[in-house]
Structure 1
Amino acid sequence: MKVGFIYLASQSPRRAQLLTQLGVRHELLLAAPDEDAEALEAVMKSEAPAAYVQRVTALKLDAAVARHRRLGLPPAPILCADTTVALGRAILGKPEHARDAQRMLALLAGHTHRVLTAVAVQHGQRRHAALSVSRVHFAAVGAARIADYVASGEPLGKAGAYAIQGRAAAFVEHISGSHSGIMGLPMFETAQLLRKVGFTL
């Protein structure tokens, strides 16, 4: 059976834009106010970044599948993704406030870090998942430039306190991997997963 659209269980406008770029028609399947979506992102003790991002994505997809069933929506593949930034084994999630964002960016300045994005798609009983790992090298950015960037408000709500498609692109000296994966949805892997559940690209 040909699949005509998918559900995107993510609030990220970047992921919606990237799906549109792929030509994928999608509808949002967002958590209700009484669902504690942030609690799913808690890091377990000594958890490795790859294990963390894949576990969180699976939990988000479990929640989205349950939400879809509860709402009695028409059948279609459901896609979830999660992105984290890792410096060594240290996981840099979303900053809690501006000072936390400054701390994270100071850690990243002058170093190479990893951006890991896990993607999972479920259609009926079939579930497929993939992991994209990219490396990003930041220039040695000074405290004043970091403070200016944080003052823009852009780092808040972003893993690792930056968005590569925004002003922080000026900090990036080199990347190795998937640019779209760094943005939050690796398009190559996503296209492969969608084909596996019957979506024609």
Structure 2
Amino acid sequence: MPLQVILASASPRRLALLRQIGIEPARVLPPDIDETPRPGELPRAYARRMALEKLRPEPDSYVIAADTVVAAGRRILPKTDSPEEAARHLRLLSGRRHKVFSAVAVRAPDGRVACRVAVSVVGLARLDEPQINAYLASGEWRGKAGAYALQGRAAAFIDFTAGSCSGVVGLPLHETAALLRGLGWR
């Protein structure tokens, strides 16, 4: 009997992405960790640390954890909690390119751990205030790093992408599949 896969995430997007490549997790176990960046922590290191901290051992299982960080330069843009914060993020990203660091970590049943960070570049077109206000009214920004979702209404604002589109959404699928294979999952 093949070993099961457990997704250490509450994200419906990550679950949908795993299903997209034919992986149906046996269980979804949302992690309960402090996601506060450390002073001076850079976006790539933060994404990697978060993915690794979300892992926990589960018997006879491969555990997958991930974290996605939107960064404007060295600045980490957190998940937005308010329309004011979302507007600030959108104005900051408007008319410029930024990086998205999507880390995935996998723990094998024997305790081995592997982690990769996919780096993508996303460009937002210059947004005017009516566009920002209409997007804020949609509510799609809630809980989104950088205040946008590539797979949603904000796709109308994206004028450039390079890297892992699935990583920008929340889980770099190529890297996830490669880590699982490298740790013996079939």
TM superposition score normalised by structure 1: 0.87
Provide the residue aligned with 1:46 in structure 2: 40
In the alignment, is residue 161 of structure 1 matched against residue 165 of structure 2? no
Residue 197 of structure 1, CA deviation: 2.1
Residue 150 of structure 1, CA deviation: 1.3
In the alignment, is residue 121 of structure 1 matched against residue 106 of structure 2? yes
Asked whether the 8 Å contact 2:125–2:158 carries over to 1, the reply is: yes
Calculate percent identity across the aligned residue pairs.
45
Structure 2 unaligned runs (5+)?
none
Residue 137 of structure 1, CA deviation: 0.6
**SS of equivalent to 2:146:** helix
Asked whether the 8 Å contact 2:100–2:122 carries over to 1, the reply is: yes
Asked whether the 8 Å contact 1:3–1:198 carries over to 2, the reply is: no
Asked whether the 8 Å contact 1:110–1:140 carries over to 2, the reply is: yes
- Residues of 2 paired with 1:90 and 1:143: CA distance? 23
Give runs of ≥4 in structure 1 deviating > 4 Å.
none
In the alignment, is residue 185 of structure 1 matched against residue 171 of structure 2? yes
In the alignment, is residue 150 of structure 1 matched against residue 136 of structure 2? yes
**SS of equivalent to 1:160:** coil
Q: In angstroms, what is the RMSD of aligned CA positions?
A: 1.3
Provide the residue aligned with 2:28 in structure 1: 28
TM superposition score normalised by structure 2: 0.94
Number of paired residues? 184
Residue 4 of structure 1, CA deviation: 4.1
In the alignment, is residue 93 of structure 1 matched against residue 81 of structure 2? no
Residue 141 of structure 1, CA deviation: 0.7
Deviation track 1:120-154 (CA, whole Å, cap 9, x = no partner) reads 00012110111100000100011221111111111
